[in-house]
A = this chain, B = another copy of it.
């Protein structure tokens, strides 16, 4: 096994003290330019790499932050992560991604692993299954900076970034109404999520504003957020089984939109497909399904802002008590007009 060279090796070789080498390598003003050059040259020549653990241990900081999302194979989250990374790299932070797979157990384990000094802060979008927040509250009480995005909770005060889910849902539902549909169903996400309630509200508001009746039987929620395609198919099968079938569906999330369209393709002939509108940040879904209206969230921007807020918390010298709750606007993408 190869033994990497340390700061002490350099010190010995150049007849300097370890502290001088350390300072030279971090470009300290107290070190003579000439000395710096010697150190840096020697370090590069011998392929020196600073040991991040030793550094973190001493400094009490790791310059890395943890991101907890349900899954990365999701346009919304992957775009958000890109936004997070764009800020992080600029400010010298490293991003550690971990997936909860919408499972409570997984979320707890991942956070424990990330927490306690291994990361300087946490960006969290809650898992669908999680009802008990004590693992997060604990970390927060221990002083770990946390920022929520998208799927937030109010167990304690901190910065949050969300999009205007109510309005997005309303716009999508309204677009279906504008296109002449009246029997509009709602395929909802897991019931405990903040976004679920907000989007349901928007859906109901739109119906109400247009004098349409609310029908509980037209609402179906997926407890696993569509990560199990079977539950989506069940919901679609249910809609298809209704004596009075919906002629349109408003879908609450990216994955559910995928699953919903896919399920209809599988379970019913094209002539019987309802119009579908829903939340999605996919680049191609709207193109693949010309009849699909989607609500896009500014995912990249959300990631960017969340990361900036987190860095603010981390680098603040004093405890922060004044928290921001940013709400970003959504964008409605109408169906493409395809010739032929």
Contacts and interface: CB of A to CB of B under 8 A. Distances in A.
A150 to B, nearest CB: 16
Contacts of A229: 283
Interface size class of A (residues with CB under 8 A): 35 or more
A111 to B, nearest CB: 11
A338 B52 contact: no
Interface string A42-63: 0000010111111011000010
A265 B288 contact: yes
Contacts of A338: 265, 269-270
Contacts of A11: none
B272 A287 contact: no
Q: How many copies does the complex hold?
A: 2
Contact of A57 (B57, B95, B143): B57
Interface in A16-33: none
Interface of A: 1-2, 4, 47, 49-54, 56-57, 62, 71-75, 77-79, 81, 85, 89, 94-99, 109, 112-113, 115-118, 138, 141-143, 229, 258-259, 261-262, 265-266, 268-272, 283-285, 287-290, 319, 336, 338-340
13 contacts: A2-B141, A4-B117, A53-B54, A53-B118, A85-B99, A94-B113, A258-B288, A262-B287, A265-B338, A266-B287, A270-B340, A272-B340, A288-B289
Given A2-B143, A270-B340, 14 more contacts: A4-B142, A47-B142, A49-B116, A50-B116, A72-B78, A81-B99, A89-B109, A97-B97, A258-B288, A262-B284, A262-B287, A262-B288, A265-B338, A269-B339
